[in-house]
Structure 1
Amino acid sequence: MEAGLEIVAVSDLKVGMFVAEPDCPWTDLPFPLQGFVLSEPSEIATFARHCRFVYIDRSFSTGEHYRAPLRERDPPLQCAALPRTESTPELARRQSQRHSFLKFLYEQDNSEQAEELARELTHIEPRFDSLQDTLRKTIECIQIEERVDFKDVATRVSDLSGSLQRNPDALMWLLRLKSVDQYSFDQAMDVSVYLLLFGKHVGLSGDRLVQLSMAGMLQDVGKTCLPPVLLTKTDPLDEEERELVRSHVASSLELLCLQHALPPEVMMIVANHHERWDGSGYPRGLKLKEIGRGAEMAGLVDSFCAMLKNKPYRAAMGHQNALEQLFNLRDQQFNPALMEQFVQCVGLYPIGTLVEMNNGEVGVVIQQNRIQRSRPRVLLLLDGMKQKMRGYHVIDLRDPRHKAYTVLRTLPQDAYGLAAQDYYLG
């Protein structure tokens, strides 16, 4: 698959887009050309009858759908701490893997959920990428005290909110695979998406939900003001260093106060997300209802997402272990009612969770079982000797043929040397 191509669901095709490749053979289609610009709605309807998704090339598209090749464009605005290092061959390999993975989902026997996941992935992936780019630019602009268009940020967050409404698994899958290996950036994306998921679970919608997610995205922007050596220290911090780290809340508020378009609710969440239910948090030692529900939710999600990542002073935890540790802090650091809701929200084995089976094999959850939560559908990646498997090996733990299989434990996302792209296989 050539680099520069973009996956688009047939429902999102527009006149003016250049279709480079469908997900079915060109010989199945009545067109005399293989690769052309869509000029009539009837052509879109034809693709819709034969395909589920296609690859489009923006550099050959017309009108508003045109985008110049990367080599002809100015380099995109990006934060110096977040370099783009993927080469063109690497991008092409990723595109090929995604194409294979989507075909694999569509070919799953008797799995309407897998097909729905594939449809939503083709729709939301470019929008997820767009939010990542927007967040990158937003962080840089805030750092240099330049005005940010938060209406644009809110619009892109709303796109993700709509995706969660249709199929929450698609967005959570992308969250696992789209990390950029830069802790503060990945943490901001993770917290933002998990807050969308959690907010919907407890009944939030509209502006309140978008503001909650935006607060999670921005709440630790003040850490950019801290000495990098402090954030990478492996030894315990002394009292002076702890106070310096805690000052990032004030730094975040100072930076965000310069952005006059931010709603007060966002600022309140940023100010209070490190406060704790029992008064042990900072900076003001607030407790119980003094904190505010949005800030309580942001603090809980922030703690959970941080546990899933490697830190200089400890290794990442698996999903289950992180949940158990947080659950043990209910009625202490965290509101017990919200803690119960969060556990129900994220589930035992959400999609994208790396798991080790009782026979030593390792796989990734590709479908939850809403009724028997301990029996998900798993895509195996490593055999019992922890060697990579080739091709797609799926076990559905609900199937009586696999009754001997059980999930032994959840694993950190990089366990046994696995990387995000390994989840696509190839």
Structure 2
Amino acid sequence: MRSTCNGVTPRRDTAGAEEAAFVKEIVAATDLEIGMFVAELDRPWLDSPFLIQGFLIEDADTLAKLKALCRFVCVDWQRSAGVHYRAPQRESVASTVGDSLAGSARIAGRSTTLRPRHDFVAVLRWLRKGGEPPAELRDHPMAAPVDAEPAAHDLPDVPIDDTPPAPHEGWRSRLSRWLAREEAPAPYHAAAPADGDEAAAQTVDEHARAGPDATVWIESVAVEDELIVAAPAYQSAQGTIEQLVADVQRNLRPDMERVRANVEDMMHSVVRNPDALLWLTRLKRTDQYAYDHALDVSVLLMVFARSVGMSAAEMTLLGVVGLMQDIGKVRLPPRLLKKSGQITPLERQIFQTHVDYSLAILKDTPDGSPELLEIVARHHERYDGSGYPAGLAGDAIGRYGEMAGLVDAYCAMTREKPWGDALSPQTALEQINAMRNRDFSETVVDTFIQCIGLYPVGTLVALNTGEVAVVIAQNQVRRLRPRVLVLLAPDHSPNSHPPTLDLLYDPLAPDGTEYAISKALPPGAYGIDPKEFYLG
């Protein structure tokens, strides 16, 4: 039996049906082998002993646990290793983001391991100095091919069996039902198609009918190469936020065209490699918590949307939401926003009015679409009905509103504030997990934890050699073995030119042992300031 296991059935166009490749399959636990990538179990992940959702079977002990626990699992052949790897037969280049507006399920980007064209530390030092990139960094990473694709492995064209294989329901199946709670929106544009523009109107109408089809976005650029492009886009967005606040303070209409242009630039970067902008959110801090928080939410909402297969239009919409959903706080008393102690019931009521202020500001702009206003209005609603301003509960909040609320909460936990320290990503995820089926639905919590991973970008980690490193890029196949930049030597002295290690390939330490992460460290461990990741 062959089936997609994310609950979304890929559609085949008539011209290329014979080329379609299904790279996920339900496999009986008795047929599992070392080297297969397990994408989903036949039961909730929380009911299993496995730390992360999605992993490579690397040893006999893990294989035995799976066979004892499960009757079947979903195997992702594209993430499997060795003889079990099967590449997709068809590819769309990730930079061709316009294709994503068609609404069909597709593979976007490249499936090979990306080899960086630039030195990571050289890129960081350029970021610290500012200005134009030097000659060796000036070429655009998208200007030349990254790597040749491997030969595709033929897969038999077996009809899809959509019958649920077992009574247990995995997180991907719950996600597909959750995505289907509302119709997919039309592509997010500043204005409707002009009168007489039948082609544009037809595109919008077809997308509105398409439903929650999934895009499988695959990274197409290494993180250090994407940083060169992402940094100017991120810096421009910082300037836009500052200008937005200044305009609202002067009772001027915010420039939403500039907002949307900045978000689209960042969205393209997220499509090519989401780790680059996530890295910049840890590095490019301002002295204004509100500015940093808005950018954190905007970037992470787009990354979250990308991870669950949403379209470029949806990513852009959610990116704009992230920048604008708290703009109404500008109208609140500064004393209230900076208060560090317990707030009174009256102060809480005043604080909650920022949602109404945000809506009033956005309604006065040409870009205040109904979708945008609805998400902003609902991002403080909670699954059990305890949120505000309307006390909505359950499915009434909508998938976008729930995503926006969860990301807002996570970013507030992990960003250092004038009145409190930042939590480590691991502690923040523990708190988010405790909110399941109370503040947020089980499905959105599961999918967010899957998106963030155990060691998010920017996490400080201790290596088994005694060295201290920071995570610079995720490995989607072996989630416990990311790429890291080694900041401190075993004696905890700074490295003058920190090396990068890709733990995916089991690099060896000087004593011959394989490098591994011992534990995550709290922010600021060993006196490391995120801005010092630049290293002069």
Q: CA deviation at 1:386?
A: 4.4
- The reply on whether 1:288 has 2:398 as its aligned counterpart is no
Aligned residues: 333
Relative to the length of structure 1, the TM-score reads: 0.70
Is the CA contact (8 Å cut-off) linking 1:102 and 1:118 kept in structure 2?
A: no
TM-fit CA distance, 1:358: 4.9
1:127 aligns to 2:238 (yes or no): no
Mapped to 1, the partners of 2:276 and 2:319 lie a distance apart of: 17
Q: Which residue of 1 aligns with 2:244?
A: 138
Q: Tell me the secondary structure at the aligned position of residue 164 of structure 1.
A: helix
Deviation at 1:417, TM superposition (A): 3.2
Q: Report how far residue 114 of structure 1 moved.
A: 11
Change (3 A) 1:357 1:236: farther
For normalisation by structure 2, the TM-score amounts to: 0.57
Is the counterpart of residue 309 in structure 1 residue 415 in structure 2?
Answer: yes
Change (3 A) 1:102 1:375: farther
Aligned to 1:300: 406
Within the alignment, does 1:418 sit opposite 2:453 as a pair?
no
The CA deviation at 1:155 is: 2.0
Measured in 1, the distance between the counterparts of 2:270 and 2:339 equals 37
Which of residues 436, 442, 453 in structure 2 aligns to 1:330? 436
Pairing 1:397–2:503 present = yes
1:364 aligns with 2:470: yes
> What's the RMSD between the two structures over aligned residues?
3.1
Out of 373-382 and 271-280, give the one that drifted further: 373-382
Determine helix, strand or coil for the equivalent of 1:381. Answer: strand
AA matched with 2:289: Y
Q: Is the 8 A contact 2:248 2:330 kept in 1?
A: no
Q: Which has the higher contact order (CA 8 A, sep 6+)?
A: 2
> Conserved in 1, the CA contact under 8 Å of 2:267 and 2:319?
no
Do 1:356 and 1:410's aligned partners in 2 also have CA atoms closer than 8 Å? yes
The answer on whether the counterparts of 1:97 and 1:424 sit within 8 Å (CA) in structure 2 is: no
How far apart are the structure 2 equivalents of 1:285 and 1:93?
45
Residues 97-145 of structure 1 show CA distances to partners (whole Å, capped at 9, x for unaligned) of 9869979xx9xxxx98997223222222222222221222122223322
Paired position in structure 2 for 1:275: 381
The equivalent residue for 1:406 is: 517
Amino acid at match of 2:516: Y
Which aligned pairs between 1:20-99 and structure 2 lie closer than 5 A? 94-95=129-130
Q: Give the counterpart letter for 1:407 in structure 2.
A: S
Corresponding residue SS for 2:440: coil
Amino acid at match of 1:406: I
Residue of structure 2 equivalent to 1:150: 256
Q: Does 1:339 align with 2:450?
A: no
Could you tell me whether the CA contact under 8 Å between 1:177 and 1:420 is conserved in 2?
A: yes
Aligned counterparts of 1:312 and 1:126: Cα–Cα separation in 2: 27
In percent, how many aligned pairs have the same letter? 42
Q: Which residue of 2 aligns with 1:12?
A: none
Alignment map for 1:159-238 (pairs within 5 Å): 159-238=265-344
The residue that corresponds to 2:82 in the other structure is none
- SS for the counterpart of 2:495 is strand
**Gaps in structure 2 of 5+ consecutive residues:** 1-116, 119-124, 148-218
Cα distance in 2, alignment partners of residues 349 and 102 from structure 1: 28
SS state of the match for residue 461, structure 2? strand
Q: Secondary structure at the match of 1:363?
A: strand
Is 1:320 matched up with 2:441? Answer: no
Q: In 2, distance between residues paired with 1:119 and 1:289?
A: 40
Q: Report deviation, 1:232.
A: 2.3
2:67 alignment partner in structure 1: none
Counterpart of 1:332 in 2: which secondary structure?
Answer: coil
Q: Which moved more, 1:323-332 or 1:230-239?
A: 230-239
Distance 1:227 1:336, change over 3 A: same
More helix by share: 1
Does the 8 Å CA contact 2:289/2:418 hold for their aligned counterparts? no
Aligned equivalents of 2:483 and 2:386: distance in 1? Answer: 40
Q: Does 1:376 align with 2:376?
A: no
SS at match of 1:407: strand
Change (3 A) 1:316 1:332: same
Distance 1:97 1:317, change over 3 A: farther
Provide closer, same or farther for how the CA distance between residues 91 and 162 of structure 1 changes in structure 2, counting only shifts above 3 A. Answer: closer
Name 1:3's counterpart in structure 2: none
Aligned equivalents of 1:416 and 1:303: distance in 2? 27
Structure-2 separation of matches of 1:417 and 1:117: 26
Question: SS of the residue aligned with 1:389?
Answer: coil
